[in-house]
Amino acid sequence: AAKQIPKDFLHINDFDKDTIMKILNRAIEVKAIIKSGDRSFQPLKGKSMAMIFAKPSMRTRVSFETGFFLLGGHAIYLGPDDIQMGKREETRDVARVLSGYNDIIMARVFTHQDILDLAKYASIPVINGLTDYNHPCQIMADALTMLEHIGRIENTKVVYVGDGNNIVHSWLLLAAVLPLHFVCACPKGFEPDAKTVEIARSAGISKIEITNDLKEAVKGADVVYTDVWASMGQKEEAEYRKKVFQGFTVDEALMEMAGPNAFLMHCLPAERGIEVTDGAIEAPNSIVFPQAENRMHAQNAIMLHVFGA
Ligand code: CP
Ligand code: NVA
């Protein structure tokens, strides 16, 4: 049977390569319209979006809210204290109530099951704005940034240095859809989820390496990527992790080892002096700010895709 087209955007590998590339190319088109100052393109006019945040955010909140507004719609921010999903009210009830008022839901939650439940019970599309498991909108923005700066995504070498977290899982799921050389260099015990590594490997199109040797790993990278060592929800482990992750800081010397073609990427927020040095972030080959801006453009195209607009 043909794979059913999902109403939601929850994991990159729910889509095939053609669809992912179609969304990214649409992002480039719509970005050009928005950057030109033209505000006549209002495909989401009259639509409303509920944005559920169980965790803090700058990029995700502002890029979704602004992007949805620029396309003609209205977005409602619901912070951790507003809904208290799963505590004040069950997730399946939240999903059905919001479906009555809104055209789309964007949610940032802790446990991945919450986004799956929202999607299951909502009659409207649900977009994953980060869970403990993955962060697909981020990796779509990263892929867009690579298209712009490297000219391609396929067959690039992306070396992620640090914690095998939600960002790594989304990279692995992208590697299941299009060919990449993806390396995760992390301390022992902080590897990404084994099942997700298996999904990426068994797709059979990408080269996937999980290693503890970051210096060897970064050689010849097109992208060196890092993220915080203690994610949201793990902040009480921050001091312990600082000890275990000794030596995994992305600094200018590591970027030098990566070679002249390597761009530095970071999903932000960054803790300078911890997982990345100030010098590495401020260097000319750092593309972290264009990357952050692309959150909005990638997500605009994702929203247009789920609306079929
Ligand atoms: N990169 C990212 O998702 O940033 P926020 O946590 O600020 O949304
Ligand atoms: N891994 C980080 C990503 C933040 C955008 C976290 O989950 O906190």
Distance CA 20, CA 140 (A): 8
Mean pLDDT across 245-274 = 98
Ligand 1 atom showing the smallest separation from residue 60 Cα = 8
CA distance 286 to 64: 24
Q: What is the mean pLDDT of residues 66-71?
A: 98
Report the pLDDT averaged over residues 54-71: 98
Using the atom order of ligand 1, give the atom closest to the CA of residue 292: 1
Question: Which of 61, 186, 267, 276 best tests ligand 2's pocket when mutated (most atoms within 8 Å of CB)?
Answer: 267
pLDDT of residue 2: 55
Average pLDDT of the residues of the chain: 97
Within 6 A (CB) of ligand 1 lie 57-60, 130, 138, 267-269
* Token pair of 300 as six digits: 């605009």
Nearest ligand, CA of residue 165? Answer: 2
> Distance, CA 108 to ligand 1 centroid (Å)?
10
- Ligand 1 atom closest to residue 55's alpha carbon, by position in its atom list: 6
Atom 7 (ligand 2) nearest CA? 231
Residues whose CB falls within 8 Å of the CB of residue 207, separated by 6 or more in sequence, listed in order = 180, 181, 182
Query: Looking at ligand 1, which atom is closest to the CA of residue 268?
Result: 1
Hey, which of 51, 52, 55, 60 would you mutate to test ligand 1's pocket, going by the most ligand atoms within 8 Å of its Cβ? 60
Q: Is 70 exceeded by the pLDDT of residue 1?
A: no
Give the closest residue (by CA) to ligand 1 atom 6: 57
207-219 average pLDDT score? 98
Cα-based distances in Å from 276 to 5, 184, 273, 279? 39, 16, 6, 8
Ligand closest to Cα of 241 equals: 2
What pLDDT, in 10s, does the model give residues 94-140? 999 999 999 999 999 999 999 999 999 999 999 999 999 999 999 99
Catalytic residue check, 267 = yes
Nearest CA to ligand 1 atom 4: 59
CB environment 265-294: b (16+ within 10 A), e (fewer): bbbbebeeebbbbeebbeeeebbbeebbbb
* Closest C-alpha to ligand 1, atom 2: 59
The ligand 1 atom nearest the CA atom of 63: 8
Q: What local confidence, expressed as pLDDT, does residue 40 receive? A: 97
Query: What's the rounded mean pLDDT across residues 281-295?
Result: 98
DSSP letters for the chain: -PPPPPSSB--GGGS-HHHHHHHHHHHHHHHHHHHTT-----TTTT-EEEEEESS--SHHHHHHHHHHHHTT-EEEEE-HHHH-BTTTB-HHHHHHHHHHH-SEEEEE-SSHHHHHHHHHH-SS-EEE---SS--HHHHHHHHHHHHHHTS--TT-EEEEES---HHHHHHHHHHTTS--EEEEE--TT-PPPHHHHHHHHHT-SSEEEEES-HHHHTTT-SEEEE--SS-TT-GGGHHHHHHHTTT--B-HHHHHHH-TTPEEEE-S---BTTTB-HHHHHSTTB-HHHHHHHHHHHHHHHHHHHHT-
* Overall average pLDDT of the 234-263 stretch: 97
Four-point Cα dihedral 146, 169, 246, 59, nearest 10: 60
Phi and psi torsions of 210, nearest 5°: -120, 125
For 86, the token pair is 């799963």
User: Residue 42 Cα, ligand 2 centroid: separation in angstroms?
Assistant: 31
Q: Is 170 within 8 Å of 138 (Cβ atoms)?
A: yes
Q: What is the pLDDT of residue 224?
A: 99
Is 0.90 surpassed by the pTM of this model?
yes
Q: Which whole number is the average pLDDT over 9-32?
A: 98
Q: How far is the CA of 59 from the centre of ligand 1 (A)?
A: 5
What mean pLDDT comes out for the span 194-222? 98
Supply the residue whose CA is at minimum distance from atom 3 of ligand 2.
231
Q: How confident is the model at residue 148 (pLDDT cuts 50, 70, 90)?
A: very high
The pocket around ligand 2, CB under 6 angstroms, is made up of 130, 165-167, 227-228, 231-232, 267
Q: For 39-56, how does the pLDDT look when each residue is reduced to its tens digit (9 = 90+)?
A: 999 999 999 999 999 999
Please tell me the residue having the least CA distance from ligand 2 atom 8: 231
**In a mutational test of the pocket of ligand 1, which residue from 51, 52, 53, 59 has the highest number of ligand atoms less than 8 Å from its CB?**
59
* ipTM for the assembly: 0.99
